[in-house]
Structure 1
Amino acid sequence: MRLDPAAVIGVGALAVILLWWWRSRSDLRRARLPPELRSACLVYAECLFQSTGPVSISARVDRVYRNAAGVLVLVELKTRETNRMYQSDVIELSAQRVALMAHTGDVVADYAYIVTERPDGFRMGCHQVRLMAHADVISLATRRGKLFVERVEPQTTCSSGVCRKCAFVQSCDLPWV
């Protein structure tokens, strides 16, 4: 069987184009990271971790990178219409840190990154956030547990926007809901 030279050249060209496309996509994803993590090693992606103790915290991480100093750094990917982070993001990442440290015993940075992009894939920004202390995460988880079994009274928020999105808004008697 004789190979057609034009077909061989065409297949070769297609392979080069596919390789270029794959590498450019990989470079684009890496460019979305903060400069500190562009040369870091991806250690975990979409993994579940759990802490043990009086309060058990389970958390699924989006991405965890090992930086040049050997410290693990959490990265949360968010698809949003606006380039901003929320306090709930900090709580989520802080819980991830507690679960990851307890599960692996590794040192995890006390800061993390939130990378935002629009639904169309356009990258908007990268926010570095300071994570909550371990004791504060445990305290928050304990209070949440007590709220669900109605051992403590819920507190109001200073943000009417948060109230409007609350699952309990119908049973609330705040003036702005």
Structure 2
Amino acid sequence: MSWFAWLLLVAGVAIGGVWLSVLLSMWSEKKWIPPELRHGRLVYSEKPFSIQRPVRLSVRVDRAYQVGDHIQLVELKVRDGHRLFMSDVIEMSAQRLVVEKTTGMKVSDFGIFLLQRPAGGRRTVKKVWLLDQRTVLGLALRREEILRGSVLPTHASSIGTCRSCLYQRECNGTFKI
């Protein structure tokens, strides 16, 4: 076999390997997709949005898919445990509010979280009902009042939240850690 034939053979095997890798990656990516997104189209990825009224809110949407006449928010969370926190739900609820106000499109009442461990492995999909607009605005207004000093913050309601708080030393809260 000539050197040119060998070169063509090696190039063919390399190109075939790349295509196989791409196809396997696409297949693997499609496995986690919940039924709600099967016919969706990615419209936003790592996109910032902000509003000024009724409160100033800035968010960054991880991924958003257009599914029919509405947008579906999706967030990847890489962490040790396959669990969500209330802060995740609040964050995505704020995203929903800001995206609806800036685009004029309806955003789904539930969010989809894709959970994965740092070392990789199996992804878990969790669907969570998002907070309504009134609740999100109430939380944002309360935050502004706390930062202004017009109201005092309350203590954490769980020891886990207290344990990870940056203000432990200054706090004389319920939990003594």
Work out whether residues 41 and 65 of structure 2, in 8 Å CA contact, stay in contact via their aligned partners in 1.
yes
The corresponding residue for 2:45 is 45
Q: Structure 1 residue 23: deviation in Å?
A: 2.2
Output the CA distance in 2 between the equivalents of 1:102 and 1:19. Answer: 42
For residue 119 of structure 2, what is the amino acid of its counterpart?
D
Task: Provide the rounded CA distance (Å) in 2 between the counterparts of 1:163 and 1:154.
Answer: 13
Match of 1:28 in 2: 28
In structure 1, the residue matched to 2:126 is: 127
| TM-score normalised to structure 2 length | 0.92
Partner of 1:115: 114
Residue 171 of structure 1 pairs with residue 170 of structure 2: yes
Q: Structure 2: how far apart are the matches of 1:72 and 1:54? A: 22
How far is 1:10 from its partner?
Answer: 1.6
* SS of equivalent residue, structure 2 residue 109: strand
Flag structure 1 segments of 5+ consecutive residues without an equivalent: none
- How far 1:162 moved relative to its partner? 0.1
1:20 maps to amino acid:
L
Matched letter for residue 134 of structure 1: Q
Query: Are the equivalent residues in 2 in contact too, given 1:79–1:119 (CA < 8 A)?
Result: yes
CA deviation after TM superposition for structure 1 residue 164, in Å: 1.4
The alpha carbon displacement at 1:3 in A equals 7.1
The reply to whether residue 56 of structure 1 matches residue 56 of structure 2 is yes
CA distance in structure 2 between the partners assigned to 1:160 and 1:10 by the alignment: 60
CA distance in 2, matches of 1:74, 1:123: 21
Deviation at 1:53, TM superposition (A): 1.0
Q: Measure the CA separation in 2 of the matches of 1:143 and 1:56.
A: 12
Letter in 2 for 1:61: V
5+ residue gaps, structure 2 = none
What is aligned with 1:104?
103
Q: TM-score, normalised by structure 1?
A: 0.92
Which amino acid in the other structure matches residue 116 of structure 2? E
Work out whether residues 113 and 126 of structure 2, in 8 Å CA contact, stay in contact via their aligned partners in 1.
yes
Who is 1:94 aligned against?
A: 93
- State the Cα distance separating 1:26 from its structure 2 match: 2.4
Contact 2:32 2:123 in 1 (8 A): no
Q: CA deviation at 1:154?
A: 0.9
Secondary structure of 2:169 counterpart: helix
Residue pair 1:52, 1:102 contacting (<8 A) in 2 also:
no
Q: Secondary structure at the match of 2:152?
A: coil
Which secondary structure does the structure 1 equivalent of 2:115 belong to?
strand
Q: For residues 129 and 176 of structure 2, what CA distance do their matches in structure 1 show?
A: 31
CA drift at 1:34: 1.7
When the two chains are superposed, the root-mean-square deviation of aligned CA atoms in Å is 1.6
CA deviations on 1:13-52 (whole Å, 9 max, x unpaired) are 2111101201211221232222221332111110001123
